[in-house]
Amino acid sequence: MNLEQLKQKIEAAGVVGAGGAGFPTHKKLALGIDTVLVNASECEPLLYTDFTIMQQHMAQVAAGAEETAKALGAKQVVVAMKSHTAAELNYQDGETAGSFSVIKTVPNIYPVGDEIILIYQALGKIVPPGQLPAAVGVVVINVETAYNIFKSLCDIPVTEKWLTIGGNVPQPVVVKVPVNCDVKAVLKAAGISVPPGHTVLDGGPAMGRIINPNTAKITKKTKSLLILPDEIPAVAMKTTSTERVLKRASSACCQCSFCTDMCPRHLIGYPIQSHRTLRAVGSGQISSPNDLLTASLCSGCGVCTFMACCQGIIPSATMAEVKKNLGKNRLAYRSTEPTVPDPERDNRLVPSSRLKGRIGVANFDKPARFIEDFTVSQEFYSLPLSQHVGIPSVPLVQAGDEVEAGQMIAKAAQGISAALHSPVKGKVLSVTDSYIEVKAGGVK
């Protein structure tokens, strides 16, 4: 299969980055790639989603990545996973999975799943600041994305999502649910209610976002639902208002620069200097435009907040705010020059066990059980036309149409966009600019 044919299959199946990014996968693939890197590192604590997919479907994950590599003319497929994950899946570093995918073990550090860090850790390459992995001949795909690529080759669209339900629950589980089903329906099917004083996160404890479990939906990007106590740092830091964040940055920062010294991207040579960004925001002292511009290189990992700052400041939130404003003004730091890792990097890596302790989730990390026959009962589905990066999907149906499970109901728009499929057989109730509502007819 050539690259155009593969991209058509992937586009028709509505595959987007399932690791949380949501970038339409067919738009990520272009010639000039020598390595397909499968991100199997699952670096946030409490998540067992990718681990379970590999446990159940490693051959298909490898096949999806290998077909991608062949279509791209890439030389290799590298599956990067943590050493303990490899051991549990009975793989060794350097061993082959699938036909020619090679397992590469990486240490259990946070945030090794940040693709810029993973490319360095697994391949020894550094993506120049502000560039895409393609600049060093690499395309990174998540485990579930590779699995969805495999299914697209069999003309099976993305209509289900794998996710971990974990946190302060009696038994964490991994389940498959229909894309766009309601979070409350998933929790009900799992027999889980959210206790008072707890918050639900979509995503990992460090980088996930707070959702309202009564109104939120599972999207193509959802990796987990975590139920966590409000008082733990992982949650408390997310509930601090932007106003308070900026006030703390201006009043309490002593410019010790620990946040910069510990920043994982700074440690591979990126010119992020969060203490300078905080000074620029807090007191207006700007020594160079790069004090602000380099915030565009921030991954949002939170290491500066959780592991470095002892003043109760939330540097990662300030960085996020600056990055957001840079984005609005189409400003970003870019360089074509390779960078040089800090010689102190090895001494400043953050073991996942330390992160878990700092953010208050160590007691909740129990292996998740896979429930294969998990069923969500839901009658009405509201399917957002924009659950991916880019332009909303274009509806192909109208109110009153009967649809089959897996039928494409919205196609990818011109440009960066993705198709959408009905997860259930049913009837279209309404079509708006932002969603398609389907009433399920006697299906799960």
* Smallest gap from residue 321 Cβ to ligand SF4 (A): 12
The smaller minimum CB distance to ligand SF4, of residues 16 and 297, is found at 297
The smaller minimum CB distance to ligand SF4, of residues 201 and 431, is found at 201
* Smallest gap from residue 248 Cβ to ligand SF4 (A): 9
The smaller minimum CB distance to ligand SF4, of residues 281 and 436, is found at 281
The smaller minimum CB distance to ligand SF4, of residues 162 and 258, is found at 258
User: Looking at residue 392, what DSSP letter applies?
Assistant: P
Token match 């010790």: residue? 256
DSSP assignment of 262-300 equals: H-HHHHTT----HHHHHHHHHH---SSTHHHHGGGG---
The smaller minimum CB distance to ligand SF4, of residues 143 and 272, is found at 272
* Smallest gap from residue 299 Cβ to ligand SF4 (A): 4
* Smallest gap from residue 206 Cβ to ligand SF4 (A): 9
Token match 């595959």: residue? 15
Rounded Cα distance between 225 and 176, Å, is 12
* Smallest gap from residue 257 Cβ to ligand SF4 (A): 5
Give the type of residue at 355: L
Rounded Cα distance between 50 and 113, Å, is 12
- Which residues have CB under 8 Å from 28's CB, separation 6+? 17, 139, 141
Give the type of residue at 249: A
CB atoms within 10 A of CB 251: 11
* Smallest gap from residue 199 Cβ to ligand SF4 (A): 20
The smaller minimum CB distance to ligand SF4, of residues 180 and 299, is found at 299
* Smallest gap from residue 320 Cβ to ligand SF4 (A): 8
The smaller minimum CB distance to ligand SF4, of residues 69 and 201, is found at 201
CB atoms within 10 A of CB 26: 26
CA atoms in the 13 A half-sphere facing the CB of 306: 29
CA-nearest of 52, 125, 121, 122 to 89 is 52
The smaller minimum CB distance to ligand SF4, of residues 296 and 407, is found at 296
The smaller minimum CB distance to ligand SF4, of residues 98 and 264, is found at 264
Which sign does the torsion angle of CA 257, 261, 264, 265 carry?
Answer: positive
Contact residues: ligand SF4, CB under 6 A: 253-259, 263-265, 272, 274-275, 278, 298-304, 308-309, 311, 313, 315-316, 319
CA 174 to chain centre: 17
* Smallest gap from residue 342 Cβ to ligand SF4 (A): 13
Beta partners for 200?
A: 211, 227
Q: Where are the beta strands (DSSP E) in 265-392?
A: 350-351, 369-370, 380-384
Two structure tokens written together for 432: 């708006």
* Smallest gap from residue 82 Cβ to ligand SF4 (A): 19
